[in-house]
A = this chain, B = another copy of it.
Amino acid sequence: MAQTSRAKPEKMARLDADAWMAAAFDALAQGGIDAVRVEPLAKALDITKGSFYWHFADRRALLEAMLGAWTEGRIAAIREQAMTRGAPEMVLGDLADLYTRHANLRGLTIELAIRSLARTDDAAARAVRRVDRERLRHVGALFGALGWPAAQAQERAILFYSYLFGQSLLDPKAVPAAARDEAIRALIAAP
């Protein structure tokens, strides 16, 4: 995926669009959307900012390329998940871990920054819509496999993602691990 972490690159004579995107995702994860700016990125890549405009029309085009890469990465990830043939409780538990364990802090931060953007930016809103549709369909199917009738399975899928995102918006100190695990256990429980 495009937002894989990487060490600050040593000076390279030539870059491609992916190198700019990787640096941009780094900046997004570390400083929010406000940190995704051409000149700071050029400085981080040790190249002139003028060269940015060979790869992208402007800052807006970079943002849209990032949204595209993020959308495709998330959809590919959920489809891969859908392939795994584990017990639905296990798959759901793994998904919950993705949003609550530290291992994916970077991915979570990027996702929340994009969802925040989506409140005022149409392209970001479209990206979120596509990802949500795919995820809710997949997770809804998992709850169906757990034994919930279709309508409740969809409600549970919404509840599941709502809880995971919402929890990550609260002050971490306000959410004891035990309360979080108990909530997830209850969400995943078979009917």
Contacts and interface: CB of A to CB of B under 8 A. Distances in A.
Contacts of A155: 179, 182-183
Nearest to A36: B34
B129 A174 contact: yes
A179 B119 CA distance: 21
A158 interface: yes
Contacts of A119: 32, 109, 112-113
Contacts of A173: 129
Interface string A32-52: 111100000000000000000
A61 interface: no
A189 B145 CA distance: 26
A179 B136 CA distance: 13
A55 B75 CA distance: 47
A91 interface: no
- How many copies of this chain sit in the oligomeric assembly? 2
A27 B49 CA distance: 29
A179 B115 CA distance: 21
B179 A170 contact: no
A136 B34 CA distance: 30
Contact of A158 (B128, B159, B165, B183): B183
A179 B183 CA distance: 19
A170 B112 CA distance: 11
7 contacts: A31-B120, A129-B171, A136-B174, A158-B175, A159-B183, A161-B166, A169-B169
Given A32-B120, A161-B170, 10 more contacts: A32-B116, A112-B116, A112-B169, A128-B170, A158-B174, A158-B175, A162-B170, A162-B175, A165-B166, A166-B169
- 6 interchain residue pairs of minimum CB distance: A166-B166, A162-B166, A116-B116, A165-B166, A129-B171, A132-B171
